[in-house]
Amino acid sequence: MKNNDTPRSETLRVTEVLRGEIIDGQRAPGSRLVERNLASELGVSRVPIREALKQLASEGLVTHRPNTWATVREFSPSDVADLAEVRQAFDLLSFELAAQRHTREGLERLEATMTAGRRQAEAGDAVGAHRSAADFHAIVTELSGNRLLVEVGELLDSRMRWQLSQHDELDVVAAEHAELFDAIAHRDLERVRALAAHHLDTSRQQHDKHRERLAHEPQEISDPGGAADSD
């Protein structure tokens, strides 16, 4: 497939595609990411594939193995616990500052994303609901008005989106986001703090339930990177 993309735009496109597939679960943890196969699949040379994999490794979604192919990262219980500890501090501060500093335009964006997530949850659109949930958290961070916090959020974004994609009870997440939105809109700091802490507990419980469900389900072999060759 030929296109007129510049090398940089090709790399950005490939990175976005692979990031979405990993976060949405289309590429299973541990599955191989073979440059040659991915280049053929996405219709590009191996250069943007290689650069995309480097970027995704820096975001914590891909694991590079010396002298062989990369793989989709398998998050260990320790990895998940580390992320939960960071989110505990990061999310609580983001929600608190957003309640204090939000603008009308920012609040409208947050409401639109919250509403979209609720509709997607009601429709059973898991991928859409997960993405809206992640966007909700990202907008909250923007509303904090703290540039450094936003920069930290960008570093954590892919990992946080991955964790939010592990939630099965879409309606629960949507309902809690609606409550958080209401508290932020009314600048109710005490309620925001309580709801944010509860929301983090819900996220941990959702993740544990998701892992337990997967552990009891028959596992299909999923290796979009290809099973036959090496680089």
Q: CATH no. for residue 47? A: 1.10.10.10
pLDDT tens digits, residue range 50-73? 999 999 999 999 998 877 889 999
**For residue range 167-216, what is the model confidence (pLDDT) as tens digits?**
889 999 999 999 999 999 999 999 999 999 999 999 888 877 877 776 77
The domain in which residue 29 lies consists of 7-72
pLDDT at 110: 98
Same domain, 177 and 210: yes
Cα(first)–Cα(last) distance of the chain, in Å? 21
Q: How far apart are CA 8 and CA 98, in angstroms?
A: 34
User: Which of 5-9, 116-120, 201-205 shows the lowest per-residue confidence on average (mean pLDDT)?
Assistant: 5-9
Question: CA torsion 191→197→198→204, rounded to 10°?
Answer: 160
Going by C-alpha positions, the residue among 127, 176, 140 that lies closest to residue 23 is 127
Please give the pLDDT value at position 226: 45
- Average pLDDT of the chain is 90
Report the percentage of the chain scoring pLDDT > 90. Answer: 78
The CA distances from residue 224 to 16, 18, 125, in Å, are 17, 11, 23
Can you give the pTM of this predicted structure? 0.86
In a domain, residue 52? The reply is yes
Domain count for the chain: 2
Task: Give the CATH number of the domain where residue 162 resides.
Answer: 1.20.120.530
Say yes or no: 95 and 167 in one domain.
yes
